[in-house]
A = this chain, B = another copy of it.
């Protein structure tokens, strides 16, 4: 019988595609094996367990996402950069819902440490804010606020949390306007508290 030609990378990518199709919480070892026309047990040569599989999908998605964002913000500054970052973020979340959901799971700190995804994400995010002239610790606070807002907005949008008729796209643009104003009027931390 012809072999499926499985490989760790191929399995993870298929899992990511499956997540976009049926939702991240529904990517199961069995379903994945079915896609390849292979028995469940065969996947365990390439992936330790479901936990491991999900972590890998998360890292794949996180890498793809920050790459797209990085391209979008390249050569931009100030509000231009903010909007480009935010729109690339949201576009990814809407286009690849399963992969985006994967990026939200808790990941083992040991894995985080040896992956480049988080470093790149931090670099791009801090870089985007460069034009606003913030310095630590305000910078960290601002990054956290922005991440929270993007994360929260896309999460609520994806889960149908916005019931009112007002257009979600319009609200998003308004939110970006507001965040831009906010970054320009950022209440500076006089106390330099740690």
Query: Contacts A145-B178, A155-B152, A181-B185 hold; do A193 and B171 have CB atoms under 8 A apart?
Result: no
The answer for the CA separation of A165 and B189 in the assembled complex, in Å, is: 16
- Copies of this protein in the assembly total 2
Q: Which residue of B lies closest to A145 (CB)?
A: B175
A147-B152, A153-B144, A166-B194 known; A159 and B118 CB under 8 Å?
Answer: no
A182 located at the interface, meaning its Cβ lies under 8 Å from any Cβ of chain B in the complex: yes
Contact with B along A148-190 (1 / 0, CB 8 A): 1111110110011111111100110011011101100111010
Asked if A40 is at the interface (CB within 8 A of a chain B CB), the reply is no
Q: A186-B178, A187-B174 are in contact. Are A141 and B166 (CB under 8 A)?
A: yes
On whether the beta carbons of A175 and B187 are closer than 8 Å, the reply is: no
Q: A166-B194, A178-B187, A187-B177 are in contact. Are A148 and B159 (CB under 8 A)?
A: no
Segment among A3-11, A14-22, A44-52, A101-109 that sits at the interface with chain B? A101-109
* CB closest chain-B residue, reference A113: B163
Q: How many residues of A contact B (CB 8 A)?
A: 46
What does DSSP make chain A's interface, helix, strand, loop or mixed?
helix
A127 at the interface (CB under 8 A from B): no
From B104, B152, B167, give the contact of A194 (CB < 8 A). Answer: B167
Is the pair B160, A189 in contact by a Cβ cutoff of 8 Å? no
**In this complex, what residue of B is CB-closest to A147?**
B156
Minimal Cβ-Cβ distance residue in B for A153:
B148
Q: Is A112 an interface residue (CB 8 A)?
A: yes
Complex interface: chain B residues within 8 A of A140 (CB): 164, 166, 171
**Chain B positions within 8 Å of A142 at CB level:** 178
Please report A residues at the B interface, Cβ cutoff 8 Å: 104-106, 109, 112, 118, 137-138, 140-142, 144-145, 147-153, 155-156, 159-167, 170-171, 174-175, 177-179, 181-182, 185-187, 189, 193-194
